[in-house]
């Protein structure tokens, strides 16, 4: 029985978990690719919530002020976890790995590509934070091209004081829930939005937003890079996506190959078939280019 053509390693974004890829994986596997996912440290099954989240009656003021249990979690833990998964994927797919990161997961895949460029056929940003060396996610989020982002309106409390960027996906406030849907899931059916919102964790360690990007032309720059633009995104606006692409291309040289979906921030939910087609095409193209280079 032949092995997989290559392996996709799929990395979720802030407040989410590996479950976001559940609709995409069957398409990749049906096309002969392996697909591996994980809950990043501090996310999904590994998440830790402030005690006040579950206290009844709920006290919004206490919730907004309680120090986060993940406040001291370093970004390096996430990078190491994904490096380990890439190494596993490489062992299963003959060293042919495509690394995909959504949203804030882009910061992690950049660090991974800098560490293990030889294991990667390509790195793919899905409306992801792709920033030049020395820049942080927070710095990029404060750029003018990101000014229309809705997601900062979801943040609760003082991130510096609580040590995390906190949201309350379980809020019963209709205005807050409407903003949550508009930020991440504008084109996702209401019933599915309710389900995915119930799976979000509330705290993202500030370390991920403050860690400077480590990318260099020699290592990260040696990996084929792709960017999937989401035109209706209100969490990472299209103007910000395009700014990041241009900034990194200017800083590192080379050219990011772009692809476009007319979708919100979460096409893995609203358009899994269209997203999967782009990923499969990237996989096929990367394999062909790698074989041509070796030939």
Q: What is the pLDDT of residues 214-231, one digit of tens each?
A: 999 999 999 999 999 999
Q: Which pLDDT belongs to residue 4? A: 85
- Biggest CA–CA distance in the chain, Å, is 67
Q: CB of 226 within 8 A of CB of 258?
A: yes
Q: Output the CATH code of domain 7-294.
A: 3.40.50.1820
Q: What is the pLDDT of residues 51-106, one digit of tens each?
A: 999 999 999 999 999 999 999 899 999 999 999 999 999 999 999 999 999 999 99
Q: Which pLDDT belongs to residue 253? A: 87
Q: Shortest CA distance to 270 belongs to which of 197, 194, 186, 198?
A: 186
Q: What is the pLDDT of residues 116-126, one digit of tens each?
A: 999 999 999 99
Q: What is the pLDDT of residues 259-277, one digit of tens each?
A: 999 999 999 999 999 999 9
Between CA 212 and CA 219 the distance in angstroms is 16
Q: Shortest CA distance to 187 belongs to which of 272, 249, 105, 244?
A: 272
| Residues 133-142, mean pLDDT to the nearest whole number | 97
- The yes-or-no verdict on residue 1 having pLDDT over 60 is no
Q: Which pLDDT belongs to residue 295? A: 63
| Residues 180-203, mean pLDDT to the nearest whole number | 96
Q: Which pLDDT belongs to residue 3? A: 75
Where exactly are the structural domains of the chain? 7-294
């Amino acid at each position: 029985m032949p092995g997989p053509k290559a392996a996709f390693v799929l990395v979720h974004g802030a407040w989410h978990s590996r479950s976001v890829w559940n609709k995409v994986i069957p398409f990749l596997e049906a096309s002969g690719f392996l697909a591996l996912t994980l809950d990043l440290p501090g996310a999904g099954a590994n998440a830790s919530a402030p005690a006040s989240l579950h206290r009844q009656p709920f006290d919004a003021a206490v919730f907004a002020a309680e120090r986060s249990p993940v406040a001291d979690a370093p970004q390096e833990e996430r990078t190491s976890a994904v490096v380990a998964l890439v190494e596993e994927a490489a062992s299963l797919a003959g060293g042919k790995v495509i690394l995909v990161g959504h949203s804030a997961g882009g910061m992690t895949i950049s660090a991974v590509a800098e560490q293990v460029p030889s294991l990667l056929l390509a790195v793919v940003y899905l409306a992801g934070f792709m920033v030049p060396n020395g820049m942080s996610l927070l710095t990029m989020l404060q750029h003018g091209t990101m000014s229309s982002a809705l997601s900062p309106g979801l943040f609760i409390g003082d991130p510096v004081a609580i040590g995390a960027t906190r949201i309350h996906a379980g809020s019963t406030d209709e205005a807050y829930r409407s903003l949550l849907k508009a930020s991440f899931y504008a084109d996702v059916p209401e019933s599915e939005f309710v389900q995915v919102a119930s799976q979000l964790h509330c705290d993202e360690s500030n370390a991920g937003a403050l860690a400077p990007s480590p990318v260099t032309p020699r290592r990260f720059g040696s990996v084929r890079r792709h960017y999937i633009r989401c035109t209706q995104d209100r969490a990472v606006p299209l103007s910000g996506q395009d700014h990041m692409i241009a900034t990194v291309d200017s800083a590192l040289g080379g050219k990011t190959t772009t692809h476009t979906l007319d979708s919100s921030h979460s096409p893995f939910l609203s358009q899994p078939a269209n997203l999967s087609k782009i990923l499969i095409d990237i996989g096929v193209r990367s394999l062909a280019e790698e074989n041509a280079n070796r030939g």
